[in-house]
Amino acid sequence: MSAGWFRRRFLPRDPLPAPRPSGPHSSPVPYRRPRFLRGSSPGAADASRRPDARPVRSPARGHALPWNAGYAEVINAEKSEFNEDQAACGKLCIRRCEFGLEEDKEWLTVCPEEFLTGHYWALFDGHGGPAAAILAANTLHSCLRRQLEAVVEGVVAAQPPMHLSGCCVCPSDPQFVEEKGIRAEDLVIGALESAFQECDDVIGRELEASGQAGGCTALVAVALQGKLYVANAGDSRAILVRRDEIRPLSSEFTPETERQRIQQLAFVYPELLAGEFTRLEFPRRLKGDDLGQKVLFRDHHMSGWSYKWVEKSDLKYPLIHGQGRQARLLGTLAVSRGLGDHQLRVLDTNIQLKPFLLSIPQVTVLDVDQLALQEEDVVVMATDGLWDVLSNEQVARLVRSFLPGNRGDPHRFSELAKMLISNTQGKEDGATEEQVSYDDVSVFVIPLHSQGQGGSDH
């Protein structure tokens, strides 16, 4: 993406053009559940739960996921026709690209045998239809494999070489790389960043071709060379739970957490708001009675708050509006990063959401080899439906109370995932103060101790 591209794409001359007329469409993306659920039946609802509880699904017994990870999901309470969450996992087989001779620099061979293997778990939380999340589940791992294959020589080197070909143009090149602190893991982070962007492009093309719409968040864990990389774009979450430690492995990207980035873009390109929204943040939407008063506000450059005299333009609908779970970007979207949404517009306008959305994930690295692992150390990844109802501490408590009593069960991590979900569904007695999730919920539980043991490849 170049700045010129950004301007052509998002800053056309007045008046704003209508969405492109849609030509003949290819067939729509078919709805499906994750492949690894094949052969499983929607589980019976937990007897201790309410009679109308929705059934929680998990992989069939005997069908092991990579690292013997557990998985479970539940569909939302009729918020949408389909479960808009999707999941994927499997083995990542990275082949080696071999460079040709000096005179054929652009020629390379992909060796057929795998050169480096890793594992991959991913959750996608769709909105505006299930299509984007399905495409992401079908595509992102291939994008990642391709991006990793493009740099794998650097990933396996003790230190990434300045030149991928390995030839040394300047004798002190290794020292330059060393001084910048560039390590193999930075190439994996770079590959994850590029893979999310590539996948976003694919989704944009495919949705346009099929005349469908929608977007999704993406939370991905990749195990490679003794490290676990967690890449997140959206409001799903991953945490590490150990006996004495709870460590967040991701942070959420919402209109609230990315307020300054979003306001900054509206400051630089005010035409993106088409005169319909105000960039400024106020404690609530202003109205006529506030005119001429000095009220609390924040602009893009401010972490703190100040007061300003209210003018008429401050009465417009706010670029970011609402609190916490209710916060919306342009009155429309609850997340600020993710994949898709290429055609999304504010209702009854031509104002686009996409320029404000980032497809780039934030990547954190867990050095699993350095952890002194204990048997019940797990990573819990889940869509926001879980975290809206359970805190990190509550999840950790449930994990720690469940695992020690279930050591003998090879299916225990899926049982744990099911148990976590059933704790979001409310009890039959409608216990007081208990929060209930009416959203789609999907959970992976990845045991770190048993890494590499068991788990068929997908």
Enumerate binding residues for a copy of itself (CB under 8 A).
2-3, 6, 105, 150-151, 154, 160, 162-165, 167, 169-170, 172-173, 176-177, 179-180, 182, 185-194, 197, 267-270, 283-284, 287, 289-290, 292-296, 298, 301-307, 323-324, 358, 360, 362-363
In the bound state with a copy of itself, the residue whose beta carbon lies nearer, of 177 and 246, is 177
Instruction: Name the minimum Å distance from CB 365 to a copy of itself.
Output: 10
Q: Kindly report the CA angle at 120 between 118 and 122, in degrees rounded to 5?
A: 170
Q: How far is the CB of 357 from a copy of itself (least distance, A)?
A: 13
Q: Which is nearer to a copy of itself, 248 or 270 (CB)?
A: 270
Q: In angstroms, rounded to a whole number, what is the distance separating the alpha carbons of residues 398 and 5?
A: 49
Cα four-point dihedral sign 207, 208, 210, 214? positive
d(CA 422, CA 411): 17
For the bound state, the minimum distance from the C-beta of residue 286 to a copy of itself, rounded and expressed in Å, comes to 9
> Which residue, 41 or 303, has its beta carbon nearer to a copy of itself?
303
- Tell me the closest approach of the beta carbon of residue 310 to a copy of itself, in angstroms: 9
Task: Considering the complex, state which of residue 128 and residue 338 has its C-beta at the smaller distance from a copy of itself.
Answer: 338
Concatenate the DSSP letters of all residues of 99-115 into one string.
E--GGGTT-EEEEEEEE
Shortest Cβ distance from residue 7 to a copy of itself (Å)? 9
Tell me, what amino acid is at 170? Answer: C
Q: Are the beta carbons of 94 and 116 closer than 8 angstroms?
A: yes
Secondary structure of residue 144 in the 3-state scheme:
helix
Cβ-based nearer residue to a copy of itself, 118 or 214 = 118
Compute the distance between CA of residue 376 and CA of residue 378 in angstroms, rounded to an integer. Answer: 6
Nearer to a copy of itself, 88 or 192 (CB): 192
Residue closer to a copy of itself (CB basis): 31 or 309: 309
Cis-peptide into 15, omega within 30 deg: yes
Take residue 318 and report the two structure tokens written for it: 């706010």
Residue with tokens 């509880």: 53
Cβ pair 63, 36 in contact under 8 A: yes
Q: Which is nearer to a copy of itself, 3 or 431 (CB)?
A: 3
Which one-letter amino acid corresponds to residue 270?
P
CA distance 306 to 325: 25
**What is d(CA 127, CA 213) in angstroms, rounded to the nearest whole number?**
9
Sheet arrangement for strand 70-74: 70-74, 441-447, 378-382, 237-242, 245-248
CB closer to a copy of itself out of 180 and 247: 180
* Cα torsion through 17, 23, 26, 27, rounded to 10: 90
**CB closer to a copy of itself, 164 vs 373:** 164
Local structure of residue 390 (DSSP, 8 states): S
Cβ 341 to a copy of itself, closest distance in Å? 17
Cβ neighbors of 21 (< 8 A, separation 6 or more) are none
Q: Least CB distance from residue 265 to a copy of itself, whole Å?
A: 9
Distance, CA of 396 to CA of 392 (rounded, Å): 6
In angstroms, what is the minimal distance from the CB of 139 to a copy of itself?
A: 19
In the complex, what is the shortest distance from the CB of residue 405 to a copy of itself, in angstroms, rounded to a whole number?
A: 40
Q: How far apart are CA 100 and CA 194, in angstroms?
A: 25
Minimal distance, residue 118 CB to a copy of itself, in Å = 16
